[in-house]
Amino acid sequence: SYELTQPPSVSVSPGQTARITCSGDALPNQYAYWYQQKPGQAPVRVIYKDTERPSGIPERFSGSSSGTTVTLTISGVQAEDEADYYCQSADNSSTSYVFGPGTKVTVL
């Protein structure tokens, strides 16, 4: 079955930039989406269609795509950004969705 790959953890100091990568063979053909999940809460979509930011999501969250890798960038990280982040996409046949394993972002 199709899988996405993410680093398990990323640590960043307040005000610095955090970059989280997500790799998958179908990413050149499928959009990627990013979700933030804080402990005890439901996930929240922070990026859709690779680079689009939903209303209400701070401008410091941005997405980019290059080949088989997509990246979520958090610029000027704040303490409240400490959370788990999941990428999500679809397989090449568009019949199945998949989530990446998640990346824990720690704000030092």
Interface residues with other proteins (CB under 8 A) are: 1, 31, 33, 35, 37, 42-45, 48-49, 54, 84, 86, 88, 95-102
Phi and psi, residue 35, nearest 5°: -130, 140
User: Least separation, in Å, of the C-beta of 15 and other proteins?
Assistant: 28
3-state secondary structure the chain: CCCCECCCEEEECCCCCEEEEEECCCCCCCCCEEEEECCCCCCEEEEECCCECCCCCCCCEEEEEECCEEEEEECCCCHHHCEEEEEEEECCCCCCEEECCCEEEEEC
User: Least separation, in Å, of the C-beta of 7 and other proteins?
Assistant: 13
User: Least separation, in Å, of the C-beta of 16 and other proteins?
Assistant: 25
User: Least separation, in Å, of the C-beta of 28 and other proteins?
Assistant: 16
Closer of 12 and 101 to other proteins (Cβ): 101
Closer of 16 and 97 to other proteins (Cβ): 97
Closer of 77 and 86 to other proteins (Cβ): 86
